[in-house]
Structure 1
C-alpha cells in the first residue's frame, strides 16, 4: 500500500484548500427541492419493503407478537389463552405458546468528519450529509429510532436517538453544523461509540475509509459488539488521478506530514491501479464478512444512490 499512501498524500494540497472552503455554512444543503425528494424516497421505500419489513425486524425476544417462537411449561398464573391444547392432547403436558416480540429498529448514522472528507471542495462530506439525511428520513417515516454521530479519531458530535418524521429538521441542523477536520481513526472512535450506545441496531458508516490504522478496525469493532454495519463508501473519481505533474512537495491534510514526490504519467498509472485495488479490497472484506457495502460516488445524485441502496437491500430491516 506504499504507492497508495504516497498519492493519498499527493492529493493533500487539494484537500487542504478544500477544507478551507468546506467550512462555510450549509444553508442550501437541505433546500425545498431536497425535502420534496425525501417524501418521494420515503414513499418508494414503503412500496419496496411492503409486507416484508416488519418480519425482517423481529428480535429474539419473546412476548406478545404474532409469530410462534417456542413452548415452555405452564406455571401457575400464566394466561390460559396461551395454552397449547393440541400439544396437551398429544403429550399430556400443559405448555404455553411463546411468540416473537417486535420492537423498533435502531439506526445509527456514523458520519466520518475527518479532514480527508473535505477533498474536492468538500463534496464528499456534503454528499455524505445528504445520504445520511435521506436515509434517516426514510427510517423516521417507518417509525425507526434514528441517532447520528460524527467521528474522526473520536466521537466528535452526537445527536441523541429520535423518532417521527417531524424530527428531520433536527437532523438537518445537526448535519449542517458538521465540519471536516482532524485525523481518522475509526477503530478508536467505534470503541467509544459502542460504549455509549447499549441498544444494538443497524450502524451506517458514511466514510471515505482513509484510515491509516486500517479501514477494517472500525467495522470489526461494530461486528464484535453485535451491531450490524452498513458501509456507505464515499468515493470521488478525481482522487484516482490527481492533477499533479513533475516534482512536488505534498503533505497529509490530517497529520501535516510532508513528502517529495516526482509525478510522471507512469507513476499516475500505477497509482490508479493501486487505488482500484484498494477499493476492491474494501469490497471483498465486506463481502467475505457479510457486511452490507455500497460504493457511493459523489458524481451520482444522492436520490439515485438511495434508490440503488433500496434495490440492493440491506438498509431497512
Structure 2
C-alpha cells in the first residue's frame, strides 16, 4: 500500500498476520458487446435457400448463445448504409425480439459495407466482437470495410456465405445476365471455357477475403447455403472467438 491507493481494497487479514498494509489485487473481466452485422443487400436474396435466409438462422443461433452467456447482443442490418439496428439485448428472454428483427429483414439495395460500418462505429464507438455475415459482393471492395472495424479495435469474425449456384452455375448458351444489386444487364454467350474462367475468378475472390482475414488474424469461416447451419455454428465455436 502507498499513499493514494484505495483503502477499500486493503487486506485486513494479511495486515493481522504480517503487520503490513497490503492491497488485494484483482482482474476485472471487461464486458465486451457482440455486434452482428447482417448483410441484407439485394444479392443476399439469391440461392435456395437464399443467402439472407441462411444468414438469419446463423445469426439467430449465435445471438442465442451470446444471450445465454449474458453478453450484450446488437444486430445491425446493412446494405448501402445501415438499414436497421436492434439496440443491445441481454438475457435469453430477449431472443424472441431478435427473432422478430431478423424475420423482418428484407434483401434490397446495393452494398457499401465500408460506409455502413463507419457510420455505425462512429456513433457507437464501444469496442467488442464484430461478427460480419455477408456474401462480400461489394463494388467498393471488402478491405476498406474490414479496415474500419479494425480501426475501431473490434475483434472481428467473418462468416462468408455463398450459394452453390454461384460457385458452380448451371448456365449455358445465349443469356441476358442482370446484376443482382444495380440491375445493370449484359447479353453474353456462356461457353465451357468462359464458365471455367468464372469459377477460377470466383475462387480467387473468396481466397482473397480469407487471406485478408488470415493476415490480420481475424476469425473466418466460409460456407454455402446447403451446408448444415448447426455444423457451421460448431465450426465458428472451434475458433474460440465466442468463448470467454
TM-score (norm 2): 0.91
Question: Aligned partners of 1:252, 1:314: CA distance in 2, in Å?
Answer: 35
1:164 is aligned, of 78, 88, 91, to 91
Residue 229 of structure 2 is matched in structure 1 by 302
**Structure 2 counterparts to residues 1-317 of structure 1, below 5 A:** 73-75=2-4, 78-79=7-8, 81-82=10-11, 96=23, 98-121=25-48, 123-317=50-244
Question: Aligned partners of 1:186, 1:226: CA distance in 2, in Å?
Answer: 17
Change (3 A) 1:170 1:80: closer
Note the residue ranges of structure 1 that are not aligned, 5 or more in a row.
Answer: 1-71
Question: Aligned partners of 2:111, 2:136: CA distance in 1, in Å?
Answer: 9
Structure with bigger helix share is 1
Question: Aligned partners of 1:116, 1:76: CA distance in 2, in Å?
Answer: 57
Question: Aligned partners of 1:231, 1:77: CA distance in 2, in Å?
Answer: 42
Q: How many residues align?
A: 241
Note the residue ranges of structure 2 that are not aligned, 5 or more in a row.
Answer: none
Deviates more, 1:181-190 or 1:74-83: 74-83
Deviates more, 1:283-292 or 1:118-127: 118-127
Question: Aligned partners of 2:171, 2:27: CA distance in 1, in Å?
Answer: 59
Question: Aligned partners of 1:239, 1:293: CA distance in 2, in Å?
Answer: 20
Distance apart, 1:254 and its partner CA: 1.1
Cα RMSD, aligned residues only: 2.2
Question: Aligned partners of 1:74, 1:105: CA distance in 2, in Å?
Answer: 33
- Flag the structure with more relative contact order, 1 or 2, with Cα contacts below 8 A and sequence separation at least 6: 1
Distance apart, 1:299 and its partner CA: 1.1
Question: Aligned partners of 2:73, 2:212: CA distance in 1, in Å?
Answer: 27
Question: Aligned partners of 2:83, 2:5: CA distance in 1, in Å?
Answer: 52
TM-score (norm 1): 0.71
Question: Once the two structures are superposed, what CA deviation does each residue of 1:2-46 show, in whole Å capped at 9, x if it has no partner?
Answer: xxxxxxxxxxxxxxxxxxxxxxxxxxxxxxxxxxxxxxxxxxxxx
Determine helix, strand or coil for the equivalent of 1:109. strand
Distance apart, 1:143 and its partner CA: 0.6
- Alpha carbons 2:9, 2:24 under 8 Å: kept: no
Determine helix, strand or coil for the equivalent of 1:187. helix
